């Protein structure tokens, strides 16, 4: 008697690449691990209940946007002129539908607006004031700019300005190049989805838009693979990183591990970029490569336990 194969749902999340041990104290590390586990539990419960991958990645990213520890939603980094300007995207691998938003200053959960753009507009990408008008028209929760501000990010911005004035190009103590959040999921129907949300990079100017909101760069999903990236966004755009990983899986028959390694630990650092990604294939295999000291990351699958890691030497 033949039975349809049971698909075990899988959820991966990240909270940004680039963190170094000296950047976080033990208390923050515990809270970060707790938030990643909470995002995994929330998204995975939806997958277990039969919801689609898109619901799971959206729910997981909302948890991380709401945590002040990540560079997305509350806790977003500051622009050169002292504002929080956020980008986000979602993609549904089964239909190749996508939604993206950029340069938001008042949307509490940018990922929810990206999803609304995908589901309720004829467009893929909206930015700035127009995107926020669309948010108001669709009942997406707004927030005062003060809501996004955290003391840590404000100090990092001040430090970045000081370094700029002194002509220094060393890293900001406390790290300011990490914290973007993302999720990829495989649901019980075998469908994949990806979502990414970010405040971008500290000190960005001129309404710079990073890779997170660019479909194919920081966010991509199709029927073979789903990817969410984090790192120096310009390099992810130039290599079409998320799309490149999925093309390797679909057309070069590479494992998701080999495909993601090649792009994240090959192409991007060869150009001078840095960062990481989470990548999930339709058969449930996955990879979480990064070329930095650490990456906030986690996975939840068949054992129903959230597995969270930060450093290179953790499984
Ligand atoms: N990739 C994001 C950007 O460039 C930043 C990050 O992942 O930390 O906007």
Instruction: Over range 203-212, report the average pLDDT.
Output: 96
SS3 letters for 237-263?
HHCCHHHHHHHHHHHCCCCHHHHHHHH
Ligand 1 contact, 203 CB (< 6 A)? no
Catalytic residue list contains 180: yes
CA-CA-CA-CA torsion for 8, 13, 17, 23, nearest 10 degrees?
-120
| 89 beta partners | 100, 196
Strand, coil or helix: 41: helix
Task: Tell me which residue has tokens 């996955």.
Answer: 286
177 pLDDT band, cuts 50/70/90, is low
Atom of ligand 1 nearest to the CA of 209: 9
Q: What are phi and psi of 30, to 5 degrees?
A: -65, -45
Q: pLDDT over 90 for what percent of the chain?
A: 88
Q: Cα of 229 to ligand 1 centre, how many Å?
A: 8
179 pLDDT band, cuts 50/70/90, is confident
Q: What is d(CA 217, CA 241) in angstroms, rounded to the nearest whole number?
A: 5
pLDDT at 172 (0 to 100): 47
Name the strands in the sheet holding 219-221, side by side, starting at the edge strand that comes first in the sequence: 219-221, 225-231, 275-281, 286-287
Task: Tell me which residue has tokens 């950047």.
Answer: 23
For all residues of the chain together, what is the average pLDDT? 94
Instruction: Over range 89-115, report the average pLDDT.
Output: 98
171 pLDDT band, cuts 50/70/90, is low
Asked if pLDDT for residue 174 goes beyond 70, the answer is no
Q: Which of 172, 218, 277 to mutate to test the pocket of ligand 1 (most atoms within 8 A of CB)?
A: 218
Instruction: Over range 128-136, report the average pLDDT.
Output: 98
pLDDT at 22 (0 to 100): 86
Q: Which of 23, 230, 274 to mutate to test the pocket of ligand 1 (most atoms within 8 A of CB)?
A: 230
Q: Cα of 50 to ligand 1 centre, how many Å?
A: 31
| 102 beta partners | 127
CA-CA-CA-CA torsion for 271, 173, 197, 251, nearest 10 degrees?
30
**275-281 and 286-287: which strand pairing?**
antiparallel
Q: What is d(CA 141, CA 87) in angstroms, rounded to the nearest whole number?
A: 16
Give residue-wise pLDDT tens across range 36-46: 999 999 999 99
Ligand 1 contact, 201 CB (< 6 A)? yes
Q: Burial level of 83, CB count in 10 A (0-12/13-18/19+)? A: middle
Ligand 1 contact, 15 CB (< 6 A)? no
Instruction: Over range 218-232, report the average pLDDT.
Output: 98
Task: Please provide the CATH number assigned to the domain covering 8-311.
Answer: 3.60.20.30
176 pLDDT band, cuts 50/70/90, is low
b/e per residue, 279-308, with b = 16+ CB within 10 A?
A: bbbbeeebbbbbbbbbbbbbbbbeeeebbb
- For the entire predicted model, the pTM comes to 0.96
Task: Tell me which residue has tokens 């100017």.
Answer: 205
Asked if pLDDT for residue 255 goes beyond 90, the answer is yes
Residue 105: count of CB within 10 angstroms of its CB: 19
Which helix (H) or strand (E) element contains residue 219? strand 219-221
pLDDT at 164 (0 to 100): 87
Give residue-wise pLDDT tens across range 120-131: 999 999 999 999
Ligand 1 contact, 79 CB (< 6 A)? no
Asked if pLDDT for residue 1 goes beyond 60, the answer is no
Which of 58, 79, 180, 196 does the annotation list as catalytic?
Answer: 180
Task: Tell me which residue has tokens 């549904």.
Answer: 92
| Residue 62 and residue 197 in contact, taking contact as beta carbons nearer than 8 Å | no
Instruction: Over range 126-155, report the average pLDDT.
Output: 97
Q: What is d(CA 197, CA 181) in angstroms, rounded to the nearest whole number?
A: 5
């Amino acid at each position: 008697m033949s039975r349809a194969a049971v698909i075990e749902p899988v959820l991966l999340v990240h909270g940004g690449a680039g963190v170094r041990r000296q950047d976080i104290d033990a208390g923050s590390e515990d809270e970060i691990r707790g938030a990643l586990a909470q995002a995994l539990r929330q998204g995975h419960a939806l997958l277990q209940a039969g919801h689609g991958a898109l619901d799971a990645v959206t729910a997981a990213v909302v948890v991380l946007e709401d945590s002040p520890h990540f560079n997305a939603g509350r806790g977003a980094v500051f622009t050169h002129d002292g504002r929080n300007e956020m980008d986000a995207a979602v993609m549904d691998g089964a239909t190749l539908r996508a939604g993206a938003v950029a340069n938001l200053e008042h949307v509490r959960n940018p990922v929810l607006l990206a999803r609304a753009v995908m589901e309720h507009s004829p467009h893929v990408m909206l930015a700035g004031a127009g995107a926020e008008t669309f948010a108001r028209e669709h009942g997406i929760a707004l927030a005062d700019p003060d809501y996004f501000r955290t003391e840590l990010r404000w100090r990092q911005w001040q430090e970045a300005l000081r370094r700029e004035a002194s002509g220094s190009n060393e890293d900001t103590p406390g790290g300011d190049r990490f914290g973007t959040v993302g999720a990829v999921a495989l649901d019980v129907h075998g469908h994949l989805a990806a979502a990414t949300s970010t405040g971008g990079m500290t000190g960005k100017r001129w309404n710079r838009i990073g890779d997170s909101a660019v479909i194919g760069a920081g966010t991509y999903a199709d029927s073979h693979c789903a990817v969410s990236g984090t790192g120096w966004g310009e390099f992810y755009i130039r290599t079409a990183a998320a799309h490149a990983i999925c093309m390797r899986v679909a057309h070069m028959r590479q494992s998701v591990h080999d495909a993601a390694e090649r792009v994240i630990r090959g192409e991007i650092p060869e150009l001078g970029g840095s960062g990481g990604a989470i990548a999930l294939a339709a058969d449930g295999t996955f990879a979480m490569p990064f070329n930095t000291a650490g990456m906030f990351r986690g996975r939840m699958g068949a054992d129903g336990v959230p597995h969270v890691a930060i450093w290179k030497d953790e499984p």
